[in-house]
């Protein structure tokens, strides 16, 4: 099970309670920074903005691909390890709204991990050091270190060599 905090709601669906996660000015700021960074081709500039303007933990030499989308409510819940690579248009969420509850959880991406293009990572997930997530995958549970995972939902496909990162 993912490491998420659950918040039951009654009456309206949980999206009507979004202000409990962050106020409108904070969400607007986060959205603006994330949207600008989606198009910035300079990795150091992106990492600076993620660290200092959004409060994310971004390791040295991490690479975030173009169009990557981070949670606009809780970007400070995201941790990206050193030398990690996030592919084009991947999405990392730290919240999810359901009809009768919303959930919040941290996302941790380990050192040297690879997230393929168009992958989606849900709240409360830990992706281990050196792990690889295939393009287009939906990660709804932890991915162990040095494994190749893929699919919808993502499942471990094979274990990787710790030295070379190959099968």
Range of the domain at 136: 5-159
Q: Catalytic positions, please?
A: 95
Task: Name the packing angle between helices 24-37 and 43-54 (round to 10°).
Answer: 170
Q: pLDDT at position 167, please?
A: 66
Q: pLDDT at position 164, please?
A: 72
Residue 164 resides in a domain? no
Summarised one tens digit per residue, pLDDT across range 41-99 is 999 999 999 999 999 999 999 999 999 999 999 999 999 999 999 999 999 999 999 99
Residue 63 resides in a domain? yes
Residue 162 has pLDDT above 90, yes or no: no
| 37 confidence band (pLDDT: 50, 70, 90) | very high
Residue 166 resides in a domain? no
Residue 43 resides in a domain? yes
Q: pLDDT at position 84, please?
A: 98
Total domain count, the chain: 1
Q: pLDDT at position 1, please?
A: 62
Neighbours of 132 (CB within 10 A): 22
CATH number, residue 45: 2.160.10.10
Alpha helices in 38-82 (DSSP H): 43-54
Cβ atoms of 81 and 129 closer than 8 Å: yes
Q: pLDDT at position 39, please?
A: 95
Residue where the block lists tokens 């607007």:
28
Residue 61 resides in a domain? yes
Summarised one tens digit per residue, pLDDT across range 100-149 is 999 999 999 999 999 999 999 999 999 999 999 999 999 999 999 999 99
pTM of the predicted protein model: 0.93
Residue 167 resides in a domain? no
Which are the contacts of 135, defined by CB distance < 8 A and separation ≥ 6?
Answer: 87, 116, 117, 118, 119, 150
């Amino acid at each position: 099970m993912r490491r998420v905090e659950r918040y039951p709601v009654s009456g309206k669906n949980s999206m009507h309670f979004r202000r409990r996660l962050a106020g409108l000015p904070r969400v607007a700021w986060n959205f603006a920074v994330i949207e600008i960074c989606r198009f910035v081709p300079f990795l150091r500039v992106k990492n600076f903005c993620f660290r200092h303007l959004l409060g994310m933990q971004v390791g040295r030499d991490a690479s975030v691909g173009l169009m990557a989308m981070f949670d606009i409510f809780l970007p400070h819940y995201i941790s990206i390890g050193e030398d990690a690579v996030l592919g084009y248009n991947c999405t990392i969420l730290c919240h999810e709204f359901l009809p009768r509850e919303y959930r919040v959880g941290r996302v941790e991406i380990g050192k040297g991990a690879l997230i393929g293009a168009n992958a989606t990572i849900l709240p409360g997930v830990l992706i281990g050091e050196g792990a690889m997530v295939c393009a287009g995958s939906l990660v709804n549970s932890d991915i162990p270190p040095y494994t190749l995972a893929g699919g919808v939902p993502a499942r471990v496909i094979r274990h990787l060599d710790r030295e070379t990162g190959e099968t």
